[in-house]
Chains A and B, each alone.
Chain A
């Protein structure tokens, strides 16, 4: 029984990370009608920028002056800022040029841009961080090894606390974010205009919504979600590699599809479903760890074949 609870707990944790990436996917898809395939890479980029910021901030000694929670907030802010800038670059260079072209162009270009982000992280992360924080690397446990190697993510949630406490904070953060997103999308005027744009672009123009501004704003909101998602990924894995983004990207997209690509909160269900399948397969089937991802993929393929609109989601009927 204890083992079972442990698995459930672990699955929820993993599900949280998938959910946030999947929400990024479905927000972007809603407003642009385009799948931004580099969401996973953006999230990992956010995690890495927090890691770099930690090394830099630590060397300045702010951690001794300010309370720990404030410092973590500061790091989150920096990560979110980096992610936002990156997302706007993605929008400018790999989505905007293809607005009138076929759907598959932005798919390819975002994947390519994701690869660029990934490779740049792998190549330049360590030199940049080291140059800025040679002092920090010597007197603390933070030793930054080559960018291609997996990096240890600093414990930013409740250092000294038990692992359980840390995990509960992760879940609480996710729940809080989801609630905040729900309120933002349904109760504020900006959120409602985002929904309007995602439902019908032409009509949004007609009722006087600034579609461009709303689109950019959606990217900002999505990138903040992704940045926090990256933060959670870093905390879940504790060791982060520059190419983790590809797997999280595919899993996040899969979660969004399983939940229903058009429904932002379907992503929660999709993410949890995938995470539960993965964790339970590796927990209960002997030698199943290696096949956990494969099972998740099989489920996704089955969903795509038999219920492409997802768990929640309207059936789209093709009109000529």
Chain B
């Protein structure tokens, strides 16, 4: 592995990273834009291709490649993200689906901390999302304050809710924990339906959306002579927040806390014996998860401009669980993929919306039986590559597997 050989290979690899990143974005956008039937065929082909690549070990290589060139990958991703609103400029409906997919991805990332990393099945992500959405709605719609303050309050309320729900979990696990969260979810729906201040079944209308330096984010702008749909700036905003959340989730996954959460998932008693503070970590998983859900909920309220109890039901929670399982538990990119796929499939099947719940449930069962690790399963954490330690050995290793 002398220097002369390394450079062209590195250049080649960079090229591959660029091409594949752009390809991913193009595929995602075309899945969004194509009409119903073509889009589904595209998704089926992509998933099949992914599974084949996984079997051949290509996905593993790809992940290593991305870790090695992560700065470049981030740069390309940022450029693509900037281009996304321009590409979706003309189609209101597609832009709306894209924003929904991004918001659902945030909620799923939050759920993943509990369900994926710690093996605590939380049946209440929709309730946490609802807490976030209602905080924003009350602060802006009822009190007329700034939506940014509403977002802050959403985060604070979700932290409190996460703590309150997290506390019983310290004493329970498995089924009992699931029952607690289920009870919370059902009670939440009942509560918001019955509190007159929160609008009861009618919900709260007139939620103000976010603005940046006086520029509202939900408005039609004209950039480079192209008239953008009102969702476009909001999509950009959500994508940036999703990027930040993905970064946080990845850091948590790679940190000691992430390892501790996995240890608790494997065996709580053993983790306790190893000196892991089980209490602290379980609470941490709940709080950070609920904050993610709350941010998603606040953005959701900002997009729709209205919150109502029907948006945050038990059925919605099941959809989130289905997304996490479809994508791959404890795999950050997998969860995002799962959220995207399921949102797009749902929206494309809008004509058959009666069957939506049935489709979710069937997907869930099939995934659990056929591929419980998800479409994009979690990887072994590769600390060597991440922290650039012992590069030589890593290079040797990579060379031998080529």
Residues of A at under 8 Å CB distance from B?
35, 93-94, 97-98, 101-105, 107-109, 111-113, 115-116, 118-120, 123, 148, 246-247, 250, 253-254, 257, 261, 290-291, 293-294, 297-298, 300-301, 304-305, 308, 318, 320
Contact = CB atoms under 8 A, between A and B. Distances in A.
B138 to A, nearest CB: 20
A120 B361 CA distance: 11
B171 A308 contact: yes
B168 A304 contact: yes
B183 A301 contact: yes
B325 interface: yes
Given A290-B194, A294-B191, A318 B362 contact: no
Contacts of A93: 365, 369
B174 A94 contact: no
A93 B175 CA distance: 20
B119 interface: yes
Given A246-B314, A300-B183, A116 B172 contact: no
A102 B329 CA distance: 13
Of residues A113, A116, A257, A261, which shows the largest number of chain B Cβ atoms within 10 Å of its Cβ?
Answer: A116
Given A257-B179, A297-B183, A105 B372 contact: yes
A42 to B, nearest CB: 15
Nearest to A318: B269
A102 B175 CA distance: 12
Contacts of A116: 358, 361-362, 365
A119 B322 CA distance: 16
A294 B315 CA distance: 18
A103 B265 CA distance: 12
Nearest to A120: B358
Interface residues of B, number: 41
B355 A291 contact: no
Contacts of B190: 290-291, 293-294
Given A112-B362, A123-B354, 4 more contacts: A112-B360, A290-B193, A300-B180, A305-B171
B365 A293 contact: no
Nearest to A300: B183
Interface string B140-179: 0000000000000000000000000000100110111011
A111 B319 CA distance: 12
B368 A112 contact: yes
Given A104-B174, A107-B121, A250 B194 contact: no
A108 B364 contact: yes
A108 B357 contact: no
Given A97-B369, A112-B368, A257-B176, A297 B194 contact: no
A118 to B, nearest CB: 8
25 contacts: A35-B175, A104-B174, A104-B178, A112-B364, A113-B361, A113-B365, A115-B361, A116-B358, A116-B361, A116-B365, A119-B355, A119-B358, A120-B358, A123-B358, A250-B183, A261-B175, A290-B194, A297-B183, A300-B183, A301-B168, A301-B180, A301-B183, A304-B172, A320-B269, A320-B270
A320 B269 CA distance: 7
Contacts of B180: 300-301, 304
A308 B176 contact: yes
Nearest to B356: A119
B74 interface: no
Among A102, A104, A123, A320: residue with most chain B CB under 10 A: A104
Interface of B: 119, 121, 168, 171-172, 174-176, 178-180, 182-184, 186-187, 190-191, 193-194, 269-270, 273, 314-315, 318, 321-322, 325, 354-355, 357-358, 360-362, 364-365, 368-369, 372
A109 B172 contact: no
A17 B151 CA distance: 44
A246 B325 CA distance: 21
B8 to A, nearest CB: 47
A132 B242 CA distance: 52
Q: Which 3 A-B pairs have the closest CB atoms?
A: A115-B361, A290-B194, A297-B183
Contacts of B174: 103-104
Contacts of B368: 97-98, 105, 108-109, 112
A109 B176 contact: no
A108 B111 CA distance: 15
Contacts of B168: 301, 304-305
A110 to B, nearest CB: 10
A150 B369 CA distance: 33
A316 B53 CA distance: 47
Nearest to B365: A112
A119 B121 contact: no
A246 B318 CA distance: 12
Contacts of A298: 187
Contacts of B360: 112, 115
Contacts of B175: 35, 103, 107, 261
B179 A109 contact: no
Contact of B186 (A35, A111, A120, A293): A293
A109 B358 contact: no
Given A104-B121, A107-B175, A304-B179, A293 B187 contact: yes
B172 A247 contact: no
A98 B368 CA distance: 9
A120 B360 CA distance: 13
A304 B358 contact: no
A264 B179 CA distance: 19
A98 B364 CA distance: 14
Contact of B179 (A112, A115, A253, A294): A253
Contacts of B179: 250, 253-254, 257, 300, 304
